[in-house]
Structure 1
Amino acid sequence: MGETRQMPPRHFDRERVRALRRARNITLNAVAQALGVGLSTATGWELGTTVPDGEKLPAMASFYGKPLDDLFPRSVGELPDLADLRCDAGYSQYQTKELIGTKSAGPVANAERGKRRLSERFHRPLAAGYKVTVEELLAAQERSFGYAAPAPAASRDTPRTAAEKITYLLEHSYPGAQVPPSDAEIAEAVNKHAGAQVTAEDDVRAFRTGTEPVLPPIVGEGMAELFGVSPMYFQTDDTVTRQVVEGLRLLAAARKGSVGRIEARGLGPEGLSEDVLAFVNRVVEELAGQDNPGVDRRGSEKGPSSRR
């Protein structure tokens, strides 16, 4: 990977450029002088025998008073690599040695070709020269090496809705010849868990397809038991967050000695799940033991004979 670019980073439309020049009554010689090239070079651009180097396009767009992205657009959805950033800043590869303070442009050339990543000491000066952030520079570098930019915080594969979560389990929990349960079998398992008729085959189908987006807690608990996952899997992000916050508040109170063992009672609109309760109680007991060396985790005082 990391081979030299085969196509120019931006689309050069010679017909449009020529029409612009003629409409403004500008000679090719004036264009050549403004861009620092020979007349034959500027002529070749309009004839289509050659195309401008990428670093010439910003100056040409400025000369014609047009935005770079307007006059020389990228392909739809294409993101810049290191060479693109350099060209958009108007630098030749050779000129980058002045930006990074080296005797040669080798470090930039190697990074653009996907051979060796830039040293960290080159990140800030190069980003400043290209007028981008360091993060944008590093993302472009990864594209030069054939890799996509890092994904934003949440993965697209992470199931969010109840329908996505059920579908994900059905598709990933039964490998090989195993057959996932039907909607009717899921409903039966949930009702068995609840000890009552709380759902039916049609309801499960509605949850699975997203026709009914709200999954009742008791149904989520039954599905969690059936698929062998934590009940928190079917809870919304907000619900989990509230439980964590409530748990942290209780821990803080326990640290101050104002809360003993926590009972499974309503704490907020959802209350704490059994998993969270168990975890919080374990920590409360450990805190009590640390703060009271003379008391063991069962609350009994240690006598002299218990000390070694």
Structure 2
Amino acid sequence: MPARHFDRARVRSVRRAAEISQSDVAAALGAADSTVAGWELGSSVPDQEKLPALAEVLGRSVDALFPRDGLPDLTDLRCDAGLYRYEMAAVIGTKSDGPVAGAEQGVRRLKDRYLPLLATAYGVTVDEVKRAQERSMARAHGEEVKGETADATEGRTAPKTLAEKLTLLLEKSFPGPEGPPTDAEIAAAVNTHAGGDVITDIGVRDLRTGASETATPLVLEGLADFLGVTPLYFQPDDQVAAQVYEGLQLLAAHREGKVGQVRARGAGGQGLPPNLLALVSDLVDEMQHKKGERK
């Protein structure tokens, strides 16, 4: 599985900058002071299940502080929720964690009735749990997940739900080491745009994970303004979403030196309008010209 990367030097630097002691970190995580000291010295590393809580104590998002290459499998989702496998029996209402262990190891798929329970516990959508399960199955057998490649934009279809649209924007609009903004930061930006309190960090989390499927027009306008897209992107119009999605594909391809591939294959299944496709072609030419000048 693509475990999150733990950088002891960065953790120490972030902790000191925040003026948080090792003892405070240890107390918050229920660990010994010597354990936290060992993490920063490099004599040991924390469990993957500890990383979300550690990031929270240090005031950073887990993606920013402990990045991970690739898409999550079932084990990753569980660890990102800060849950150990032995805790999963209580989550799905069984006598043992066997069903979850079997799915994580790629032995057998989860029963459908467990999927919404795990989605709630992990703070993701049921569809995300299903996709993670397919990655677990494929990796256990040394196979690639059908429809997925190393580039997360490849093989995807245009997002349809509000949660999918938000997730895509957050993934592709904030590629730097700091990662995407926190739910609290997004809520603050939306409230500033609205000129009043229209959403909380919990409200943003619910929209992002699919727990809440609708938002007021004022909230959607604030999200669009903060994330740099047209408010139409959040409306139930597949064509508009597809066009924004293709634009994000172009930007991602540019970062990876694949802009020519975007022009070669055009857009996704729905295709781009001729005028937009012409703009993409012009941008590709400009990007390749600038790349040539830097050599």
TM-score range for the pair, normalised by the shorter chain length: 0.3 to 0.5
TM-score scaled by length of structure 1: 0.45
Greater RCO, 1 or 2 (C-alpha within 8 Å, sep 6+): 2
TM-score in terms of structure 2 length: 0.47
Larger Rg: 1
